[in-house]
Amino acid sequence: MPRAVLLLSGGLDSTTTLAVAQSRGFEIYALSVDYGQRHRAELLCAEKIARSAKVARHAVVKVDLRAIGGSALTADIPVPKNRPDEEIPEKIPVTYVPARNTILLGLALGFAETVEAFDIFIGANALDYSGYPDCRPDFLTEFARLANLATKAAVLGRGRFRIEAPLLSMTKAQIIREGLRLGVDYSMTLSCYDPDPAGQACGACDSCRLRMRGFEEAGATDPVRYGSRDPVPR
């Protein structure tokens, strides 16, 4: 069974990516990163998901990006709430964490070298998302090129690193349908950028709204409870 490292946040996309990777026959080494994010409750979800999926190993790395700040997820900047759907992908939002996916993929690459895995899975999505530049296909292509220039394993010819983003060109509804087909239990996931102290999703941030709309368009029921479940305006 080939090994793969998978970035597991505890959210909908990374959990679906986990199910996809396992369906392809990979033995999963999951990596979660505590980077000081406002929504750290997702790490508890990641732990439950990793245990439920029986991954080979679940590593948690701490990197405090609050020391850098610059994002509503890592600094005292309000998380946008109740934005109209058409405004969500309009510009890069304040929930963008500077260089986050570059940092996370760098950690995943180091983990992959350690466990001798050459496939790295990430739940990046370029369609039904919030306009983050580090979720684009070009970024993932260039990171793969970097990985094969900057690692001992690649330089010594032990293998070629591949960055796998199976959800990249899927809508949120398509992602949810695929996850349900693969048996994903979405009640274990958390997508919210600003959950309450009990870890309950707010229902108003961009991530909650995209998720809620995705379940609606998929014709499925979201099992997660929201603190404020207002209808998504059209």
- In tens, the pLDDT along 182-231 reads 999 999 999 999 999 888 999 999 899 999 999 999 999 999 989 854 44
Pairwise CA distance, residues 205 & 37, whole Å: 15
Does the pLDDT value for residue 159 go beyond 90?
yes
Backbone angles phi, psi at 58, to 5 degrees: -125, 110
pTM recorded for the entire structure: 0.93
Does the pLDDT value for residue 124 go beyond 70?
yes
Asked if 140 contacts 124 with a C-beta cutoff of 8 angstroms, the reply is yes
Q: What per-residue confidence (pLDDT) applies to 234?
A: 34
**Helix, strand, coil fractions of the chain, as percent rounded to 5:** 40, 10, 50
Between vectors from CA 203 to CA 68 and to CA 77, what angle results, nearest 5°? 25
Pairwise CA distance, residues 59 & 51, whole Å: 12
User: For the domain 3-218, what is the CATH superfamily, name and number?
Assistant: HUPs (3.40.50.620)
